[in-house]
Structure 1
Amino acid sequence: MMNPTLRKKDYKGAIDALLRLQETYNLRVSDIADGHIGRNKTSAPLQATDCFDIGLKAWQVSTSENVCEWMAEAEDRLTKDTNYLLPDILTQSIECSMQMEQEEEEEEEEEEEEQFEDVRALLSRVLKLDPDNVYANQKESHLRRKLKTDMTSKNYKALCRGEDIGVQSATNMFCRYNHNNKPRLFIRPAKEEMLSNEPPVVLFHDILTDTEIDLLIAQAKFKLKRARTIPEGNAPAVESKIRISSIAWLYNLGDKMGLHSVLPRVQDYTGLSTDPQSTEKFQVANYGLGGFYNYHVDDDVTGIEPDKRLATVLFYLSEVEAGGRTVFPKLGISIPPIKGSAAVWYNYLKNGDPNFDMLHAGCPVLLGEKWASNLWIFEYGQEFRRRCGLTRDDIY
């Protein structure tokens, strides 16, 4: 039963967030119901009605096994006041148990990655004999898409939990003080942590001061609105379940007292122009419990922006009690939010093509809240700062 102090939309959003956290971080139903989130104990145990509502929602977004677990938890928490729910709980338990039987049968027939090898070998033989074979081409394309999608999702969840998926080689990682031959950085050099060499992903530590962070959040707090995403085809921006956060846009940051040195500092650190015509306005984002941004790339495929988003600078404006990492599923990179730091990467290769290896995501916030800020640097103005490759193969 919905809490009377909550709007229906907020209540549904809270249930979505709990199920998202459960799936991403492998949380147990009993722990969530008791108010245990990870290693932390909250003061919000769930009632039978809450567990029942979550179980109903799980039909849409989760497995039947998870539905059964929530229904069992709801039954365990019944009281005299909520005993009227028992027939509905038992009905849903029967339904999910029957569905589980069916899913188990399908799982036995499901093709796992290692089982694909024989099929792909046969398809390869067919295509070698007949490259235009329609059936073989369709099947090969289907298997390739399935493997790619499954691996991206698997890597995303593992990286959100802080697990090492063994993609990045530690030999390419290093930390250093770097002055980039900039006078200001001879006094206070950049603290640079190289997370990936090809493609380059850098984490700059202490790029923002606490005072600057407080000013950014203060400027944004009263302008926050629900974040939207732009569908394909240049349609108007809409609220979307793949991005749960609130954002605010800050204009003319260089004119604001206490923040005028941020853009010049970014220019010194990255070597890229941050003149007004070379950067988008600052975007400040707030993620509450369960807030996240599903995996995506930052290149402007809609053509709405006046220029390509050549590079992304992602500032972390707060620590997060648990969750909230930035992860790159194809690169095996997982960045915990460190207050005052900024992650920087290129969205385009030197040959001008989008770099889809830079697929990244903001993981769900497990505890606390997350403040972050994006600055996108356009291609305009970077002609002599990040030169194009001389050949199509010169990409980094």
Structure 2
Amino acid sequence: MNLRDIRTIIDKNWLFPSLEDLTGTGISLLRLQNTYQITTSQMANGEIDLKFRSQKLTSDECYHIGRVAYINNDFYYALMWMQEALDRFDEKNKRALISRIDILDHLSNEGNIENALALTQEMLAIDPNHVPAKANKVYYESLINGQTLSKDQKKDSLASSEKIGSSSKKNFRVRKQRQNNYLELSEVYKALCRQNRAKLSHKRQAKLFCRYRHNNHPYLILRPVKEEQLFDEPTILLFHDVVSDTDIEQIKVLATPQ
């Protein structure tokens, strides 16, 4: 059996998650983190809910989540997850799929030139022959030398990130703030997702209701939809039993890798 035959068998019978599945999972985790305001450390430690604890993530896993965010241009969470990957990185772990340089390379894209230079210098301390790092070092130094910032401005720039660790391993904390162009509407939407009836007064809870809705549709008149009001202002409704068990099973069949 040659390599082409093996590849054909794998393509036809491969049941493990694909790269697309892995990327989709990472995007879903980032969306949950963003919507419910879960810190990167909490997610990495499996502390998603007070009643539920999952397995802690490794440095490799944190890196790959950060990589998904990076590819999707969400540099805020990319830096958060890369920092988490760096904090969990173990030089003695021979089974690691990534290197310290891989993480530092992504962290150096934060946007702060001084930090980028320090991280690049750390990369060169690990691998003096790292070609991209050598080129970046020259580039960052030229930018710094060409700056005309005042003394106070330079202090503000340096204070934007917190330096930790020893001088032999410069490790910088990335800035934990959103850029100014972050949409306020998105924040409103996520706040609605976090709402629950426990925040309502008894008087407001008493006004919530359940009903059957049909909107005068012939099919729905025979089988109206079960509607439950979860929140009054703004109105949040939950519809029960919209998809039948048969439809659910059909969707599961269609979603199964062929």
Relative to the length of structure 2, the TM-score reads 0.49
**Structure holding more helix per residue:** 2
Higher relative contact order, chain-length normalized (CA < 8 Å, sep 6+):
1
Relative to the length of structure 1, the TM-score reads 0.33
